[in-house]
C-alpha cells in the first residue's frame, strides 16, 4: 500500500516538498487555507499523484500520514503539527529534508538583517575560484528539488530564517554564520529570547567554523555555544581571528597578523551595513579557504540584490531607492543611515508586534519628509507627532506614497522605500512590494518625460 504524505501550504516550499515526496513514491495531499485563481492554477500543474485541497482544512488531515511537511509560514506549534507528533508521525520541513539529504558542504547564513546580501556575497566569493556553488534557502529557487544536481564536492550556500531553523532538528553546517540580532518576528516567536534561540541553533551544530558578528553583543556571546572554531567580523577585533576594517581597508586577521583584502572604497554597495556584510563574506571565504585575491574580485564584481538598497532610477537629480526588504526597524534604520543627502522616506506596513518608537526616532533624525502608508501608518504618525516631527503625511497606499514623493522631491534628494514592516497588508511579499514600487517610479518618470 502506498504511503501518504501531507504537505501544508502551497507556496514555493510546499510545492518543492510535494514534488520531491511524489518522486519518492508517496501519495501526496497538499492543503492550504487559501483559495484563489492563482493557487488553483498552481494546484492544477502538480504531478498526477498529488492532490490539492484549498480553502481550509482540519488538523485531523494529518491522521494516517507517514510524513507531514509544513511550509515555513506554518507555526511550528500549530495544532495539526502537535497532533502529528502525538500520533508519532514525523514532521519534516523543506529545510529539514535538505539537511537530511544534501550531499554538498552547507554554508548557512542567518541573522536579522543582511542575510540575503551576505548569502549572495558568500556564494560569489566561494565560487570565484571555480568551485561549484548552489544558492538557496530563503532566497531564490527552492533547494530541495535541486538536490539531485548537488555533488559531494559542491558547496550549498543557504540563507536561513528563524522559521526555517526552528524546524530542523540538527542544522549541521560546514560553516555557520550569525550576522546580527534585533527584535523581529515577535508575532511568531513571542519573545526575543525564543527568537535568539532559534538563530543560535545554527551555531550549536556548526561543523568546521562559526562566523559571528563582533559588534553585536548578542551574536558575540554565541561563541560560547559553538564547538567549532569561531571567526568574527566587525570593527576593532580584539584578540580574535576574522575580518575587520583597518584604516580604509577590509583586512583579514589571523593569529594576530593582518592581511589587506580590498579597499572599502571599492565596495560597490551603499551603506556602512554593507561593509559589515562584506566583512562577513570575507570571514566565511577565509574559513572556506578562498584566496584573498578571489575574495576581493568577487566583492568588486558584486551587484546589489533586488529590493536591498537597489537603485531604481536616478533622474533629475533625484535618486530612487528600493529597500523593500527592510521589513524591520533595524533594517530601515540602516537604510536611513546609508545616505548623506536629504531623504524622503516611504514607510509603514504590516506589524510584527514591535512598537514604532525606535523607528520613529530614526525617521525623525534622518528624513527630510516621511510619507506613511499601510496598517501601521496611524501608529507611526502618532509616534512622529510625539517627537514634534511635522514633515510627514499619511496616504492611502504605496502608489499614493510614490506619487506624493514625486511631487515633493527636489534635485539632490533620495526617495527611499525602506518600510520597516512586512508587506502583507498590501502585497504578498516584499518582492512584490519592491517591484510595484519600481514600476510606479518608472511610470511616473516616463509620464513626465513625455
Q: Any idea which residues carry the catalytic annotation? A: 115, 138, 185
Q: Pseudo-torsion of CA 187, 192, 198, 199, nearest 10°?
A: 120
* Residue 111 marked in a binding site: yes
Instruction: Tell me the pairing of strands 230-233 and 242-246.
Output: parallel
Residue 234 Ramachandran class (φ > 0 left, ψ -120 to 50 alpha, else beta): left
Residue 289: partners with Cβ closer than 8 Å, 6 or more residues away: none
d(CA 282, CA 262): 10
* Residue 115 marked in a binding site: yes
Question: How many other CB atoms sit within 10 Å of the CB of residue 136?
Answer: 25
* Residue 112 marked in a binding site: yes
CB-facing half-sphere around the CA of 31: CA atoms within 13 A: 16
| Cα 232 to Cα 106, 120, 236, 249, 373, distances in angstroms | 19, 19, 11, 16, 39
Q: Is 445 exposed, middle or buried (0-12, 13-18, 19+ CB in 10 A)?
A: middle
Q: Is 1 exposed, middle or buried (0-12, 13-18, 19+ CB in 10 A)?
A: exposed
Q: 308 in helix, strand or coil?
A: coil
Q: 217 in helix, strand or coil?
A: helix
Q: Pull the grid cell for residue 446.
A: 516616463
Q: Characterize 89-106 residue by residue with b for buried, 16 or more Cβ atoms within 10 angstroms of its Cβ, and e for exposed.
A: bebbbbbbbbbeebebbb
* Residue 199 marked in a binding site: no
No. of helices (H) and no. of strands (E), the chain: 16, 19
* Residue 258 marked in a binding site: no
Give the annotated binding-site residues for ATP.
111-117
The annotation places the binding site at 111-117
Amino acid at each position: 500500500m502506498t504511503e501518504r504524505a501531507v504537505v501544508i501550504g502551497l507556496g514555493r516550499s510546499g510545492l518543492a516538498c510535494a514534488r520531491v515526496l511524489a518522486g519518492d513514491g508517496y501519495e501526496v495531499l497538499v492543503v492550504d487555507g487559501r483559495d484563489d485563481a492563482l493557487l488553483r492554477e498552481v494546484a492544477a500543474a502538480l504531478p498526477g499523484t498529488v492532490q490539492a485541497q484549498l480553502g481550509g482544512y482540519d488538523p485531523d488531515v494529518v491522521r494516517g500520514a507517514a510524513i507531514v511537511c509544513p511550509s515555513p509560514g506554518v507555526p511550528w506549534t500549530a495544532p495539526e503539527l502537535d497532533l502529528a507528533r502525538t500520533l508519532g508521525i514525523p514532521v519534516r520541513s523543506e529545510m529539514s529534508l535538505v539537511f537530511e539529504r544534501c550531499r554538498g558542504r552547507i554554508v548557512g547564513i542567518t541573522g536579522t538583517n543582511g542575510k540575503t546580501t551576505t548569502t549572495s556575497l558568500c556564494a560569489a566569493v566561494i565560487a570565484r575560484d571555480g568551485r561549484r556553488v548552489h544558492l538557496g534557502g530563503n532566497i531564490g529557487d527552492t533547494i530541495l528539488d535541486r538536490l539531485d544536481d548537488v555533488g559531494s564536492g559542491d558547496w550549498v550556500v543557504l540563507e536561513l530564517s528563524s522559521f526555517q531553523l526552528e524546524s530542523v532538528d540538527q542544522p549541521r553546517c560546514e560553516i555557520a554564520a550569525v550576522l546580527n540580532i534585533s527584535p523581529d518576528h515577535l508575532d511568531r516567536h513571542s519573545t526575543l529570547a525564543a527568537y535568539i534561540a532559534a538563530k543560535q541553533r545554527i551555531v550549536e551544530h556548526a561543523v568546521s567554523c562559526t562566523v559571528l558578528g563582533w559588534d553585536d553583543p548578542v551574536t558575540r556571546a554565541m561563541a560560547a555555544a559553538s564547538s567549532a572554531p569561531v571567526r568574527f567580523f566587525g570593527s576593532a577585533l580584539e584578540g580574535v581571528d576574522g575580518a575587520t576594517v583597518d584604516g580604509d581597508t577590509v583586512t583579514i586577521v589571523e593569529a594576530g597578523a593582518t592581511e589587506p583584502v580590498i579597499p572599502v572604497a571599492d565596495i560597490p554597495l551603499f551603506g556602512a551595513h554593507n561593509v559589515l556584510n562584506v566583512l562577513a563574506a570575507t570571514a566565511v571565504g577565509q574559513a572556506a579557504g578562498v584566496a584573498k585575491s578571489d575574495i576581493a574580485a568577487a566583492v568588486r564584481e558584486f551587484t546589489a540584490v533586488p529590493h536591498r538598497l537597489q537603485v531604481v532610477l536616478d533622474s533629475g537629480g533625484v535618486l530612487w531607492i528600493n529597500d523593500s526588504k527592510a521589513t524591520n526597524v533595524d533594517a530601515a534604520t540602516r537604510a536611513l543611515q546609508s545616505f548623506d543627502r536629504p531623504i524622503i522616506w516611504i514607510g509603514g506596513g504590516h506589524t510584527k508586534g514591535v512598537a514604532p518608537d525606535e523607528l520613529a526616532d530614526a525617521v525623525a533624525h534622518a528624513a527630510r519628509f516621511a510619507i506613511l502608508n499601510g496598517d501601521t501608518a496611524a501608529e507611526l504618525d502618532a509616534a512622529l507627532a510625539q517627537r514634534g516631527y511635522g514633515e510627514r503625511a499619511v496616504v492611502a497606499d504605496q502608489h499614493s506614497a510614490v506619487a506624493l514623493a514625486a511631487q515633493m522631491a527636489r534635485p539632490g534628494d533620495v526617495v527611499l522605500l525602506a518600510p520597516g514592516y512586512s508587506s502583507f497588508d498590501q502585497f504578498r511579499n516584499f518582492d512584490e512590494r519592491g517591484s510595484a514600487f519600481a514600476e510606479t517610479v518608472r511610470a511616473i518618470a516616463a509620464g513626465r518625460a513625455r
